Amino acid sequence: MPPVREAFAMTAHPRPLPGPDRLTWDQSAGRACVYCARPLTSGAVHVGTIRDRLGAHVLDTEAWAGPCCSTTASPDSER
């Protein structure tokens, strides 16, 4: 079994995700690129989850990047 440190290194994002307070409605709903806010069509790449809470409420947001920014995003999966 590999050390935990290596597992985290493999999932590190080459580009930091923005904070939840900086997202537009379309970005937080997964309809626009999380980096440039262009509408997503085909070829969107999942780049991670933006974690947020408000008391007991979990406000996590799935972050997606479009083909315009996918060269700097991690290719976890495509939409």
Q: What is the pLDDT along the chain (79 residues), one digit of tens a residue?
A: 554 444 443 444 578 999 999 999 999 999 999 999 999 988 899 999 999 999 999 999 999 999 888 765 444 545 5
| DSSP code for 74 | -
> At which residue do the structure tokens 């590190």 appear?
12
> At which residue do the structure tokens 């985290």 appear?
8
Task: Give the pLDDT score at 15.
Answer: 85
Task: Give the pLDDT score at 71.
Answer: 66
CA distance 27 to 38: 9
Residue 31 CB partners (closer than 8 Å, separation 6+) = 39, 40
pTM of the full predicted structure?
0.68
| DSSP code for 17 | P
**3-class DSSP state for residue 50?**
strand
